[in-house]
């Protein structure tokens, strides 16, 4: 087994009227890509609570979890990871309904903006593979909570 860093994260899949809510992540190096609102589950925090906290922190929106969509585990090899060592990300995806708040950038954070994006336009964006996983889960609602791995390359990033 490859030695790797580990991260447990919770992601909000907010779908409304054929659109999905995306957040534009900007790395410290200035690179950007679109992803889902969400992030690391803190020690002692329930992922169910983490997804709502992360949605509010990153987008300014309030939400309620409607259902668990699924879990995605991906191992990023050292040669493809930012830190140069292997990394495993376990993402818990929730279908979240927005109930209030106003879209805004994340104060003092790495989310530069969040926008409602037509699902049909997602394929043309430089995006995290998390977006494809979340949209596929919301679209198919698989009983197992699992979708096929998303190939990375071209417009799709880790």
Q: What is the 3-state secondary structure (H, E, C) of 30-84?
A: CCEEEECCEEECCCCCCHHHHHHHHHHHHHCEEEEEEEEEEEEEEEECHHHCCCC
Q: Does pLDDT of 151 surpass 90? A: no
Q: How far apart are CA 45 and CA 23, in angstroms?
A: 22
pLDDT tens across 115-141, in order? 999 999 999 999 999 999 999 999 999
What kind and span of H or E run contains 134? helix 129-140
pTM score, whole prediction? 0.93
- How confident is the model over 67-89, as a mean pLDDT? 86
Question: Domain spanning 4-143 has what CATH number?
Answer: 3.90.79.10
What kind and span of H or E run contains 4? strand 4-13
Tell me the domain boundaries of the chain: 4-143
């Amino acid at each position: 087994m490859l030695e790797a860093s580990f991260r447990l994260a919770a992601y909000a899949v907010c779908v409304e009227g054929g659109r999905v809510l995306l957040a534009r992540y900007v790395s410290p190096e200035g690179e950007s890509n679109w992803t889902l609102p969400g992030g690391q589950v803190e020690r002692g925090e329930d992922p169910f609570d983490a997804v709502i906290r992360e949605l509010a922190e990153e987008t300014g929106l309030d939400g309620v979890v409607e259902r668990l969509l699924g879990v995605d585990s991906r191992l990023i090899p050292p040669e493809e990871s930012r830190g140069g060592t292997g990394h495993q990300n376990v993402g818990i995806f929730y279908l979240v309904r927005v109930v209030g708040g106003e879209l805004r950038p994340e104060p003092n954070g790495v989310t530069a903006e969040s926008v409602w994006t037509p699902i049909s336009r997602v394929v043309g964006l430089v995006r995290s593979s998390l977006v494809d996983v979340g949209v596929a889960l919301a679209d198919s609602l698989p009983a197992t909570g699992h979708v096929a791995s998303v190939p990375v390359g071209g417009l799709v990033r880790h």
